[in-house]
Each structure stands twice: as C-alpha cells, then as structure tokens.
Structure 1
C-alpha cells in the first residue's frame, strides 16, 4: 500500500529531516510529515552557524561529521553551505588564555585551528576595533548556512534525488500500534503506517504524550536576533564569535582555566541576566546578522517568555556590538526571535514507546551543527544497523 513505510518521521526541521536522510541512506522507504506548509521553527530562526569548535568533545564528533555531510550534499546540490571559517575574538588576557587552551584540546583531537595575533585579526576582519581585540582563534573548516533557505533546499534535494516523500499540513493527532504497524493519524483523518516512527517535533510532542511531556525536564530558550541593512562595499567572512561567546560555549568548559575565570565574573549584569553573547555573520545580500540573547522557561510554561521583542535587549546588543566592530551602518532592517527546546540535565531528550516509537527532541542550540552527525548514529541504532 502507498501509505506504508519503513520509517515515518514526524517533524520537518533539521533534526527530523536528517533522521529521514540517514534512514534513506540505509535503504529505507521514508515519509516525513510536517504540521505546517513548510518548516518554520528553530531550524529557520537561527544564525546559520555550523560550529563544532563550540561543542564539548562528545558533540564535536557529531558536529565534525555534520560538516562532512553538509559539504558532501553541497557538492551535489546548492543548499547554501559556505566554507568561510569561524573565529573567536578574545578581548583580554583571560579570554586569550582560554583560546590557547582550546587550541591545545583541538590539536589533541586533530581538529584544525590557528591562533591569530591582534594584527592578523585586524587585517582579516575590516572594522574590528583595535581597542577590543587581543587575539583570535580561527577554525578554517567550519561553514555557514542561510537558515531561511537551507532546510527547503535540503528537502528539495532529498525529494528529487533520494526519493523522500513529504506530507505537509499533516498535524499528527495520534500515534498507535495497529495490525499494520504504527499508525500515524492526522487531525484531518489521514493515516500512514510505519514500522518505525521517529518523533522530532520539538516540545510539540506534548500533544501526543502529555504525561511524558509533564515528566520531562525540557525547557525552552528564546533568542533575539536582528539584521542590518546591506553593508555597501564591505565583506565580513565567516562566523564571528566574541569574548562573551568564549565565556559561554560548552567547548571552553573543558579548558583548565575556565572555572577559575568564570568565578571572577560579576553575577548581576545585563549580559548575564539576558544571556547575551555577541555574534556577527554576513548574509548573502551583504547585510549582517547580530545577536543573540537567551531567556529560559520550563517547556510547560513557555508562554511566560512572551511573544514580543524586548527592545532593551536589542538596544544593549547593538551598543555592545559597536564596541567590537565598526560596520559601515548599524541600521536594522529586521528583528526576530527564535525558540528551541533543550534538556536541563542531559544533552538531548530520547524516549522509546512501545519499542517502535522513538521521541528525539530537545537538542537545543546544537541543532544546526549537530543534527546531521547525531542523526546518522541515532538512526543506525534505531534500525539496528
């Protein structure tokens, strides 16, 4: 029957799409279902940075495999991948020390990086303020993507060249075992069947399994970002991460000096209260994306984060960005926020129901970087390959 599949994936974001991709790579007949007409959640509302350098040792392995997968697909079909590297810019001696230590860790892991002097940073990144930068650490293999187009191009590639079936506007109302396998039923009464069902729809799985959701330790993070007008005759290559990123990203937790340096920080600052670390990335149209902030709430109370943009946060981020890079203009043409779910006590949320229904969600801010690599290992485990 046309409505029977080896694998049904619920959720058309980056995590679900790559589970579908790797299932097809293993020869499975796959259907991907998405509740909206197209993906528009966290997968499209982020910076589009693929930065294994910012991950701890465990997840960096997934991130590096993701890089390989992204580049392999890009060689066959344009999904907006650009290999232009990532740089971390230290603003003082403590941050420079963390960069030196991270480079040693990455050398040991055989992951390429290069320390940059102050002069090299100033030469590479036009507009970078001399009174801000102390040193840099550059990762040449890392890439950027255009998040608002990448997932659509990726799915277009999978449909056209890999045979993926996608059903949009398919809001799943139930997922239960029947004599024909696992029946995935939509709110409109359409049913499809899978030998395995993988649910990757963020915190929306609460509608299917409310008790499981209530027992989970999921929380939601709200991130504010903005985009300048196009910068005339100006090029800023790659992902630019700054001193506050160095003090925030998981990779630096493994540095010997990290905890001592963090202990010296003032606890009650706008940066801390709003979870701000300043990032820059130039989009294809020449505009520059700036951000971002992090506000948290338990997933069951995500509405408490509100639906508005906090202009105090945006104004603070612009003010701090100007202390780092002097762009030709800081005229903002667009502002938005993204929401993603993550776990408080583990790095991802995984539950198995009735042996053949797998919930995989709560990947948090690791989604764009880690999903492709993690999904490869996870789907092999689910399918016993």
Structure 2
C-alpha cells in the first residue's frame, strides 16, 4: 500500500519505519524544514525504569526494537547504558528496595547497589549518595541525530519519500493536500503531529483527551571523562508511576521536596551525549499559556545537584532550551489513537515516553489498522 505519514517527529518517523519494514511505500510530510519539536528536545533516553506495569511490556518491546534498529542504523547512536537512580536518604532507599523486591524487578533489570558497586558501573560518580537503583534495561540514543539517520536508511529502500517544509492542509481517506496545493494520494493516512492539537487535528477529530507539557533542559560542554550510565535522582520516584507503593507514599509524606524542585515539578535525569557533554533536566509545567522564557532557578538547582553527585564542578553549560510534548490524560490509553475515517488514523499524546515507546507504538498501530 501507499501510506501517507503526517509529522516528522519520532512517532511519525517510527510509523514510517514500520510501514516500510512491512513492505509498503511511504510519503512522509513535515511542516518544518526539519522536525524541531519534542523529539529533538529530549534526553534520547529509552527509559524502562519507572514505567507502570501496564506500560512495561511496551517499553521492553520498544527497547528490543531500538536495539535492533541501532544495529541497522549506527547513526542513531544506540547505547545500552542502563541507569542509576542515585539515592540520598533512607526514605529513597526504601522505595528502591521495595520495587527491587517486586515480581517484575527482573524484567526491569532492577538491582540495589551500594555506592562502591554503583561507581564500578559509573566511575565518574565520586560524590555523595547512600545507594543506587540500577536498571540494566535502560538505554540511550542521540535525539538530534536519530531522525535524519532513520530517514536516510528508509530512503535507501526506494520505498520512502520525505517532504520537508510541507504543511498538510486537508486530509481525506484518499490522501492529503499540502500548502503548495499538491495532492498526495494514498491508501491510508497516519497523522502524528505531536503537540499541535489544534488546526488540522481538531478539524479531523475534535477535542482529544490530551494536554501539553512544557519542560526545561540544558547541555554542558564535554565532561572530559566517560559517563557510562544515565542517572536519575530520588525525585524521579515521585514522578514515575512505576514506583508507586507504600514506600513511595512514605517518601512523599516524610521527605519534603526541595522548594525549587517542587515548584517546577522537577526530577533529575542526566545522560552523556556522544560528543561528551551531559544533557541534564528536567522540569514540568502543565498550565497553559506557557511562559515564553526559561527560568534560571531550575538550572541552578540541577547544576548543584549534579555537582554533588559527581563530586566535581560541571563543565560550562553550552545550551539551555524548553520543549513542549503531548500527553494523553486518559489513564487507560498508552497513547491517544483516533480514526475519524476508516483510512485516517491520528496518533498523539505519548507524554514523556515518545522516544522510549515510539517503535512499539508504531508496531501496535500497524497491527491495529492491518498494515
């Protein structure tokens, strides 16, 4: 079949990849010269730790698909980094011990480590922490490289065409019409426009159970040494629902969060890029309209926290940025899917899980619509 994909972020690209893998021809349209949304403004983490039990199978499948894709497309920079959630208090350690004792701990690759064991995995961590939760299943890709690398790989098949700077204005079961007036005919249309919930998406499907979430991040100059694992802090146990339980309830009740971290709904995530710099974040802002500038407080807080864990000053921060992603607010849905026509399918709202789950979501979509 001839499949039309609207949206050049990770969801659109993953759906294009899955369609080509199944033998179809794909025309892929992106309104910008290059995708500039949440896909390129994230950590590039394939994050299994912290997923709810309902998400875990999809996360593990996506991890498998990313590793397979990394072997075929080295340019995406896939690395099986694993992660260390660094624990600084007994209450945080109690959460780690609780989840490491659950029946799904082996599937997640959970192990509680003492500081020396954690430093064996990541010798750059010479600072203060009392223990670490190791997740061997976590991984990373290069978020700013992955999409062009995947498109080049797809183009080499002869069954993929990418049309940048081409905005879709109308969609029907027979294809799409773009803002140049060109009609692109196809058998199926898949719309993956990320956080653009209005305009075309609203015309097709009305109001969806989705919201937009804004976050702030930063990237340093090269660290000057290897940083083999991704890291998180204990605040991630407040954020990720996979840690929910009695110990997490005790953590929330007995250990107040830092005032800056609480105000900005923060957790620490940190991963090293292939060029040696560290990508560090993040914050969460849920109430629109979002501010158009970035706040300095979270950056100061994160810098101090990472330096405490490293036991050394950070290199200079070279970039700061904000991003917005789409999050489905229906707890029963992994992602928001709607089909206003038998041949038109909208897929949006993976939340902060788009990079992690993209390949698995695309595989699910292809099965659901009979590709």
Instruction: Compute the TM-score of the two structures, normalised by the length of structure 1.
Output: 0.89
- 1:159 equivalent in structure 2: 155
Alignment of 1:184-223 (within 5 A): 184-210=176-202, 215-223=207-215
The structural deviation recorded for 1:342 is 0.7
Task: Provide the rounded CA distance (Å) in 1 between the counterparts of 2:158 and 2:361.
Answer: 20
| Number of residue pairs the alignment of both structures matches | 368
Match of 1:25 among 21, 32, 48: 21
Match of 2:330 among 314, 331, 345: 345
The SS at the match of 1:166 is strand
* Pair 1:244 & 2:235 matched: yes
Match of 2:218 among 215, 226, 242: 226
Unaligned 5+ segments in structure 1 are none
The structural deviation recorded for 1:335 is 1.0
Task: Provide the rounded CA distance (Å) in 2 between the counterparts of 1:105 and 1:191.
Answer: 54
The structural deviation recorded for 1:36 is 1.3
Q: Contact 2:195–2:324 (CA<8 Å) still a contact in 1?
A: no
Match of 1:134 among 113, 130, 134: 130
Show CA shifts across 1:107-135 (max 9, x none). Answer: 466343322112212443345355x3121
Distance change (3 Å), C-alpha of 1:108 and 1:293: closer
Q: Contact 2:38–2:325 (CA<8 Å) still a contact in 1?
A: yes
The SS at the match of 1:47 is coil
Q: Contact 1:33–1:170 (CA<8 Å) still a contact in 2?
A: yes
Alignment of 1:207-356 (within 5 A): 207-210=199-202, 215-232=207-224, 234-253=225-244, 255-266=245-256, 269-297=259-287, 301=288, 304-346=289-331, 347-356=334-343
- 2:32 equivalent in structure 1: 36
- RMSD of Structure 2 on Structure 1 (CA): 2.2
The SS at the match of 1:189 is coil
Q: Contact 1:8–1:196 (CA<8 Å) still a contact in 2?
A: yes
Match of 1:88 among 85, 89, 107: 85
Unaligned 5+ segments in structure 2 are none
The structural deviation recorded for 1:213 is 6.8
Show CA shifts across 1:298-344 (max 9, x none). Answer: xxx4xx21222112222222223223223453421111111101123
Task: Provide the rounded CA distance (Å) in 2 between the counterparts of 1:267 and 1:215.
Answer: 35
The structural deviation recorded for 1:185 is 0.5
Instruction: Compute the TM-score of the two structures, normalised by the length of structure 2.
Output: 0.92
Task: Provide the rounded CA distance (Å) in 1 between the counterparts of 2:212 and 2:171.
Answer: 24
Task: Provide the rounded CA distance (Å) in 2 between the counterparts of 1:18 and 1:252.
Answer: 28
Q: Contact 1:6–1:194 (CA<8 Å) still a contact in 2?
A: yes
Task: Provide the rounded CA distance (Å) in 1 between the counterparts of 2:175 and 2:270.
Answer: 45
Q: Contact 2:175–2:188 (CA<8 Å) still a contact in 1?
A: no
